[in-house]
Amino acid sequence: RYSLILVGFLPLALGYSMGGPGSACEDLTPQHPGVTPQTGASPFSISPPGNKVKKGSNVELTLHGGDKNFKGFFVRALEGADGSSGVFQASPNVATRECVGTKNGATHTSPSSKKQVKLSWTAPNYTTTVEFKSTVVVNFSTIHLNKPVFVQVV
């Protein structure tokens, strides 16, 4: 009986070590109990190769914080107020999440400490503006919501 109680609390103690849940698609926060994101400027950012990309092209994005380490992340590609745009590809360090029906969410696969993560994203096959929103988890109680980055798909 006691082991069931302990197992029930295990996710609260560990956070989301295998990536953010699908529910993070809505507000990009990991919903750690009692934790709110940091206020003020984030030391982390997501960098596309430029502010314009070709329709249907594969694009490498870099999530980084200079010399600062982080353990988790969630990135979403948005078009308009809440529509999805493009598709992220899974890799050993990146898992995809279904946000609004497509793999336009990406998250970590391991809680190991990292200075940067490379994400592969395929742009949609039409002209639009895509907004990349990202959240970085430094540790269970330190979460940064990053400044959005906009890219024109031409």
- Read off the pLDDT of residues 48-69 as tens digits, 9 standing for 90 and up: 999 999 999 999 999 999 899 9
The closest alpha carbon to 35, from 144, 132, 154, 124, belongs to: 144
26 backbone dihedrals φ, ψ, rounded to 5°: -70, -55
Report domain extents, the chain. Answer: 2-153
- Read off the pLDDT of residues 65-119 as tens digits, 9 standing for 90 and up: 989 999 999 899 988 766 778 999 998 889 888 787 688 888 899 889 999 999 9
| SS3 (DSSP) at 31 | coil
Q: Which CATH class is domain 2-153?
A: mainly beta
The closest alpha carbon to 25, from 135, 137, 120, 147, belongs to: 135
Handedness of CA 123, 134, 49, 58 (dihedral sign): negative
Q: Distance between terminal CA atoms of the chain?
A: 59
Which amino acid is it at 97? R
